[in-house]
Structure 1
Amino acid sequence: MKNRLWVLPAVALGGGFGANALAGDTTLSYGQLEKLLNSAEDYGFNRYEKLDADHDDNRFEIEGWRADGWELDVAMTLNEGTLMRESQRKSIAPDWGLTKEELNAALSKARAEGMQHFAELEVDSDGHVEIEGYNAQQGQFELDLHREELNSEHRDTGSANG
């Protein structure tokens, strides 16, 4: 499988990096991202299509689905995770949306490749995952993956017997 690595915005979980490292408070640290993703779980997200940090509007947007098939589109403040907007519509959760485990695997891979601050993550119906963020040198970071890579990595690292 082919990984492309550029330098643009992305997501990863883990220890916090100072948000002031890049252009004031215009980046999302790992600690902030983890807090926002925990809030997303409280809304019932179990499959994810898109995460987007909009710093101009102090907004973090999440699109995805609940286990019962309802499609969710939630916007919350970047700093506190306070709900700004929520919309729902009855749908069928597609199997191409990222599970929490796949999302965490994608973010961990981006972090391992050098992303330190998050901007956006999106998956399409073909399983193409694009993560954008910033590296330590304040350069833009972009990583392209395929959902299948996340499944195999998760099974390989999570299995003690073979």
Structure 2
Amino acid sequence: MGSIGVSELIVIFIIALIVFGPQKLPELGRTIGKALAEFRKHSAELRMAVDQEMRELERHTQELETKAREAVEPAAPALPPESPVSSAAIDAYQGVPYRPTPAALSSEEQHTVEPAAAPAVLPESPVDAGAIDPYQHVPPQPAPAAFSSGEPPTGEKPADGHPKPD
């Protein structure tokens, strides 16, 4: 919708002059002016009331969000804080093999002593990479005679697990 232009305003003024006459026109103008002033006053009050309600709703929403965050945040640090471990302690621990506690071992296991494992020895000469062919073709093995006919051996079920109907 557009605003009222000058030509439309002149047409409205002429119609009002004809309908109300020249004697009542000034009185009508005052009445319309007062009515417009009252309308603006009430619309401003309404706008202020709506804005105040919106601010209260936003404040209430922010309070609820803050309470929700506070309720969730304490649950997050349930784990104890990590203690810093030096790299020297880690290096020292990596060389120690696992040994179960005596309480975890049975009485026989507590009295038996296992010999230490021999260290892995590498061959003195490297293996010739050309001696092994990783892509060597291996011919398939022939199937047993019982399966060559497609029938399973007697007393056995076929691969699908269901007995063959007679």
Q: Which has the higher contact order (CA 8 A, sep 6+)?
A: 1
TM bin (shorter chain): under 0.3
Choose between structure 1 and 2: higher helix proportion.
2
TM-score (norm 1): 0.18
TM-score (norm 2): 0.18
Larger Rg computed on CA atoms: 2
